[in-house]
Amino acid sequence: MKSLRGEVLGIVGGLGPLASAEFLRTVYRCATWEREQDAPRVLMDSNPAFPDRTSAFLAGEEHTVSPMLEEVLAALLERGATRLVICCMTAHHLLPRLPAELRRPIISVPEVIVAQLRRTRGRYLMLCTRGTRYVSLFEREPGWEDVADRVVFPEAADQDLIHDDLIYQIKRMADPAALAPIVRSLLAKYGTDGFIVGCSEIHLVANVLHGGAEHPECIDPFLAIASSFAHAAETAAHGAGDRIPSLPGAMVRASAA
Residue 164, Cβ density class (10 Å: 0-12 exposed, 13-18 middle, ≥19 buried): exposed
> What per-residue confidence (pLDDT) applies to 33?
82
Say how far apart CA 226 and CA 247 lie, in whole Å: 9
Beta-ladder partners of 11: 44, 85
Measure CA 6 to chain center. 23
Say how far apart CA 248 and CA 112 lie, in whole Å: 8
Fold of 9-108+222-245: Rossmann fold (3.40.50)
> What per-residue confidence (pLDDT) applies to 38?
83
* CATH 3.40.50.1860 location in the chain: 9-108+222-245, 110-219
> What per-residue confidence (pLDDT) applies to 257?
40
Per-residue pLDDT tens listing for the chain (257 residues): 233 345 899 999 999 999 999 999 999 999 888 888 888 899 999 999 999 999 999 999 999 999 999 999 999 999 999 999 999 999 999 999 999 999 999 999 999 999 999 999 999 999 999 999 999 999 999 999 999 999 999 999 999 999 999 999 999 999 999 999 999 999 999 999 999 999 999 999 999 998 766 779 999 999 999 998 887 766 665 654 444 445 544 344 544 44
> What per-residue confidence (pLDDT) applies to 128?
99
> What per-residue confidence (pLDDT) applies to 251?
45
What is the assigned CATH class of domain 110-219? alpha beta
What is the SS3 assignment for 42? strand
> What per-residue confidence (pLDDT) applies to 232?
75
Contact 46, 14 (CB under 8 A): yes
> What per-residue confidence (pLDDT) applies to 249?
42
Model pLDDT for residues 47-100, shown as the tens digit of each residue: 999 999 999 999 999 999 999 999 999 999 999 999 999 999 999 999 999 999
> What per-residue confidence (pLDDT) applies to 244?
43
Residue 149, Cβ density class (10 Å: 0-12 exposed, 13-18 middle, ≥19 buried): exposed
